[in-house]
């Protein structure tokens, strides 16, 4: 078993309301960032877990997302990377 | 001007207390993910902004982080990518 560091992105599903993103976009615009068109706010998780290899670590992270970390109705998730610690 | 999609990670600074991460790690362990050692919970932002080029888009995002998005005392940020939309 090796310790892997798995990075996960969880984002609001496209097309669903993202009030936090809208609020941040408005605040950035007010601060003078006039080029800002849209902001999406999601979560970035780093999970350190023992696994046999990188594929097993990613599979385990996928299962964590469906069982606990992501809301299947409103959120999408993506395993960004799984690298040995 | 081109529309760029900039992805930003904001994470709790290493060594600082991360109660949310600890809670998630405990919950994963209870669910049967016995290999989980540590979890860090941060934010993943996607900002769509007009910029002259990818470097300018990343610079602008860096400035957004220091001025609004990240807490300079407790959080680190990283510009993950800046790609044309």
Residues in contact with A46: Cβ distance below 8 Å, sequence separation at least 6, in sequence order: A5, A6, A7, A8, B11, B39, B40, B42
Q: Which helix (H) or strand (E) holds B30?
A: helix B19-30
Q: Which pLDDT belongs to residue B74? A: 93
Q: Return the residue of A nearest to B45 by Cα.
A: A41
B50 contacts A37? CB cut-off 8 A:
yes
Specify which residues B22 forms β-bridges with.
none
- Rounding to the nearest 10 degrees, give the CA dihedral for residues A47, B34, B19, A11: 40
Say if residues B77 and B10 touch (Cβ distance below 8 Å).
Answer: yes
- Please write the tens of the pLDDT for every residue from A11-64: 999 888 899 999 999 999 999 999 999 999 999 999 999 999 999 999 999 999
ipTM: 0.88
What is residue B36's predicted lDDT score, i.e. its pLDDT? 97
Q: Answer yes or no: do B47 and A39 touch at CB < 8 A.
A: yes
């Amino acid at each position: 078993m090796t310790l892997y560091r798995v990075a996960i992105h969880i984002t609001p599903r496209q097309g669903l309301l993202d009030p936090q993103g809208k609020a941040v976009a408005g605040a950035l615009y007010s601060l003078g960032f006039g080029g800002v068109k849209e902001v999406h706010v999601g979560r970035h998780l780093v999970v350190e877990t023992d696994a046999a290899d990188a594929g097993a670590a990613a599979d385990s992270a996928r299962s964590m997302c469906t069982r606990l970390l992501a809301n299947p109705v409103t959120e999408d998730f993506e395993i960004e990377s799984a690298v040995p610690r």
